[in-house]
Structure 1
Amino acid sequence: RIPQAVEDALRRGERGDTPETPKPGNPLFDKARTVVIGSNDIAADAAIACANELGFNTLMLTSFMEGEAREVARFAVAIGRELVHRHKPLNLPAMVVFGGETTVTVRGHGKGGRNQEIALSAALAMAHVPRTLIVALATDGSDGPTDAAGGFADSGSLGRMRDAGIDPREALNANDSNEALARAGDLIVTGPTNTNVNDLTFVFVYPD
């Protein structure tokens, strides 16, 4: 049976004697407090703190990154090239991080996820970008229908894939980033973290 106090409150609402939901200024909120204990910003800030301890100069670019994964990958590579050639926007060693959640337009029948597609796409543009590492991962440890959190790419990724019998361009066209990265040893597997605050992409650039 519904407690009488609850029934009375519902009846008052039905009659219009009380608002359906509490509105701003209601005394019910006088002792209420909202605390965000997990967010993309918090995850990025934790990564920045770790990188700072390791001696990296760091920059959080945005936590609102959206768009096609392979386009975001090219943007990440462009940041790396800027850091390598101009040492901008940071002195080296540098780490730039951005968060959000990209999308993948599925054209093939392969297996992967948005972060693995970022890594594979970045690999295709990084053959002549030295001292740069791009890491893309899902904060919950699960990227797409795979057991990987994401992947990484550097100037040697294309060679590792080709040595393993993978055509990187064909793999990207087939949306088969998981197999390509796995064969190259460029997958990131963390296991489930049970906390999903979207994705993070990192651009690391090291000095000569």
Structure 2
Amino acid sequence: DVVGDAVDVIASGPTAPDTTTFPEAIKVLKKYSLWDKTPQSIKEVLKDGERGILPETPKPRDRIFERVYNLIIGNNRNASLAACKTLANEGLNVTLLTSTLEGEARHVGTVLASICQEISISGNPIVKPAGIVVGGETTVTVTGKGLGGRNQELVLSAALKLQGLSGVALASLNTDGVDGPTDAAGALADGETVARAEAMGLSCEQHLSENDSYTLFSKLGDLIITGPTGTNVNDVAVMIVL
């Protein structure tokens, strides 16, 4: 569940060299104004490490790793390529744009929707009928008091950009089946999502500003609910343009 498959980060990298140091950990806590909120016991450990009283974690070229080999057997690229294969089997022209997507969910949603628009208008970067897959993991800067997850927020922002566009749909989900603190894996939207919401007295803009994508998609019946999948290789978004 790490974009880019950094072995020293996946599950905290128990079988990989640790490239970070005690001073770097202290620097990060201070950078984000968390040092004063950190329990004293943890601060003492970090300070002892900084002073050399405690040994650093094993680093690259440490002999302990001489006979260790780490192999990635499943990742986001695998999941994204599987999605591509499914779309191709449905007769769509398919492309995988990236399996390392990152960024603010609502901004990414707007970008993905604009790609759908471009394909619909000009056939670039792929001709219709098109299936576009994007993998990775976005983030959400929470400012509201609503309920949702990064995939649902991505789709909601995309819906605003897609409104009125026919023959286009976008879905995004977490491969572990749990998007944020909700029971949904993600959500889907098309060019009619905003109009359907307005017909029910719902404002997509308001729900987006409140980080309340789950509530809106729940009322629309457009949540993707899979239950826990037993795996976790980031998120996958699929766009279809007919």
- TM, length-normalised to structure 2: 0.72
2:222 is the counterpart of 1:186? yes
Partner of 1:91: 127
| Distance in 2 (alpha carbons) for counterparts of 1:158 and 1:20 | 59
Aligned to 1:44, which of 63, 80, 93? 80
Partner of 2:150: 114
Q: State the aligned residue count.
A: 181
| Distance in 1 (alpha carbons) for counterparts of 2:214 and 2:226 | 15
| Distance in 2 (alpha carbons) for counterparts of 1:129 and 1:73 | 15
Segments of structure 1 that go 5 or more residues without pairing to the other structure are 1-18
Aligned to 2:64, which of 10, 18, 21? 21
Partner of 1:12: none
How big is each residue's C-alpha offset from its partner over 1:13-42, in whole Å with a ceiling of 9 and x where there is no partner? xxxxxx64143xxxx46xx6x543211000
Partner of 2:13: none
| Distance in 1 (alpha carbons) for counterparts of 2:227 and 2:205 | 28
| Larger RCO, structure (CA 8 Å, separation 6 or more) | 1
| Distance in 2 (alpha carbons) for counterparts of 1:128 and 1:85 | 13
How big is each residue's C-alpha offset from its partner over 1:153-175, in whole Å with a ceiling of 9 and x where there is no partner? 10110122122231111111110
SS at match of 1:134: strand
| Distance in 2 (alpha carbons) for counterparts of 1:131 and 1:62 | 23
| Structure 1 segments of 4+ aligned residues over 6 angstroms from their partners | none
Residue type of the partner of 1:93?
P
| Distance in 2 (alpha carbons) for counterparts of 1:69 and 1:85 | 24
SS at match of 2:238: strand
Distance 1:151 1:22, change over 3 A: closer
Larger Rg: 1
How big is each residue's C-alpha offset from its partner over 1:82-127, in whole Å with a ceiling of 9 and x where there is no partner? 1100111112110111111101111110000000001111111111
Residue type of the partner of 1:69?
A
Instruction: Indicate if the aligned counterparts of 1:82 and 1:88 stay in contact, CA closer than 8 A.
Output: yes
Aligned to 1:81, which of 114, 117, 125? 117
Partner of 2:238: 202
| Distance in 1 (alpha carbons) for counterparts of 2:131 and 2:116 | 9
Instruction: Indicate if the aligned counterparts of 1:157 and 1:186 stay in contact, CA closer than 8 A.
Output: no
How big is each residue's C-alpha offset from its partner over 1:29-58, in whole Å with a ceiling of 9 and x where there is no partner? 6xx6x5432110000111111111110111
Residue type of the partner of 1:110?
G
Alignment of 1:16-165 (within 5 A): 20-23=63-66, 28=67, 34-165=70-201
| Distance in 2 (alpha carbons) for counterparts of 1:170 and 1:191 | 28
- Measured on the aligned residues, the alpha-carbon RMSD in Å equals 1.4
Instruction: Indicate if the aligned counterparts of 1:80 and 1:129 stay in contact, CA closer than 8 A.
Output: no
| Distance in 2 (alpha carbons) for counterparts of 1:40 and 1:135 | 16
